[in-house]
Amino acid sequence: MNDEVLTINLKERLFLTEEKKDLSDYRGVCVYLETNEGEVADVGFELVSEGRKLADKLGVELSAIAMGKGIKESAMEAFQYGLNKLYLADSTDFSYNLDDIFSETLARLILRYRPEIFLAGATWFGRTLIPRVAAILKTGLSADCTELEIDNEKKVLLQTKPAFGGNILATIITRNARPQMATVRPHVMEKKKVAGEIRDCEDRVEYIKVEPSGFKTDYKLIGIDKNLNESININDYKVIVSGGRGVGGSEKFSTLKELAGLLGGAVGASRAAVDSGWISYPHQIGQTGKTVNPRIYIACGISGAIQHLVGVQSSDIIIAINKDPAAPIFKVADYGIVGDLFEVVPMLIKRIKSGRTLI
């Protein structure tokens, strides 16, 4: 089967005419493996693990679609998480993530393989790419899900997502259309390798060749600037030391940076700190910023508005340092210290650096 290369022609834009879909035509769970510079983003593997559970409950196959350039080695890792079949589109046409050529290709592949469930990461790219795919396929899509389940009776996907700044959760179903599509928040599902040695998966790979000649695109990527102002992707760090209104100024963030550095972590911030101009927007955590789930989240001088809490609630351990014993952050923290962060944090830095006990 793997000798066969499927060619997809993108000359004409895909336009589905209205037709009543036979829902039973759709079978299996399919996951989109987003790649960046040849590597599958972690959320892809998280979704393979989650997709495995869903596929087992339905008694169906789990497949994945990977698109990118030079991605095979990384994409093959997905088999370790319980994948049955990999559709691999490895081409210079996909060397950079672009909405239009990716959505046209993905939609064609989904139409060909007809999975009943299609999952993708709710990354910034995923959240603009996947709606285009849903619009082409004329099916439902739920955004930024944090929980997926199969309704045992009806065998449909229950898609649960936060709304209203995380104050409520909504469970959504897709009716009268397939596939049931959802983007899933990164770092929420657990990535878990399946037991047993995985070898010789080559016969479970199907190669997709795309013929994009004549594909007309109306926009062009002309530059990438990775020099975000002192930027880092805070999602990449296992420890985040975060500052809020209580930090009180941009120069004072350097103390938090020093602590973060000692712990091998990154600096985050609440909206209040970003709005005050003390630190740049890519550091912002919460409803209007990033959602994080590090192993350790240390909140310094953050009162814990619900909008902030929803962005950190899936952290493994939350440690809060705040002057105000009534601060809501303490309700969601595993460890709380009521105290002045300017006393506690510098003392902690000294303690870690010196390795000498204080008492």
The interface with another protein within residues 258-277 (CB under 8 A) comprises: 262-265
Q: Is 95 in the site for another protein (CB under 8 A)?
A: no
Give least dist CB 2 to another protein, A. Answer: 32
Near another protein by CB under 8 A: residue from 73, 232, 250, 254: 232
Q: Is 16 in the site for another protein (CB under 8 A)?
A: no
Q: Is 198 in the site for another protein (CB under 8 A)?
A: no
| Residue recorded with tokens 């082409």 | 136
CB-based contact 294:239 (threshold 8 Å): yes
How far apart CA 357 and CA 82 sit, in angstroms, is 47
Kindly state the DSSP code that residue 206 receives in the 8-state scheme. Answer: E
Among the residue ranges 47-55, 57-65, 110-118, 162-170, the one whose residues contact another protein (CB under 8 A): 162-170
Q: Is 105 in the site for another protein (CB under 8 A)?
A: no
How far apart CA 29 and CA 84 sit, in angstroms, is 10
How far apart CA 142 and CA 119 sit, in angstroms, is 10
Nearer to another protein, 202 or 218 (CB): 218
Residues 52-91 that bind another protein (CB under 8 A): none
User: At 259, which amino acid appears?
Assistant: L
For the chain, state the CA radius of gyration. Answer: 23
How far apart CA 65 and CA 87 sit, in angstroms, is 5
Query: What sign for the dihedral angle of Cα 21, 181, 61, 71?
Result: positive
Near another protein by CB under 8 A: residue from 72, 205, 282, 323: 282
| Token digits of residue 311 | 């962005």
Q: Is 157 in the site for another protein (CB under 8 A)?
A: no
Near another protein by CB under 8 A: residue from 11, 16, 124, 230: 124
CB-based contact 120:99 (threshold 8 Å): no
Near another protein by CB under 8 A: residue from 7, 219, 277, 326: 219
Nearer to another protein, 113 or 330 (CB): 330
Nearer to another protein, 82 or 311 (CB): 311
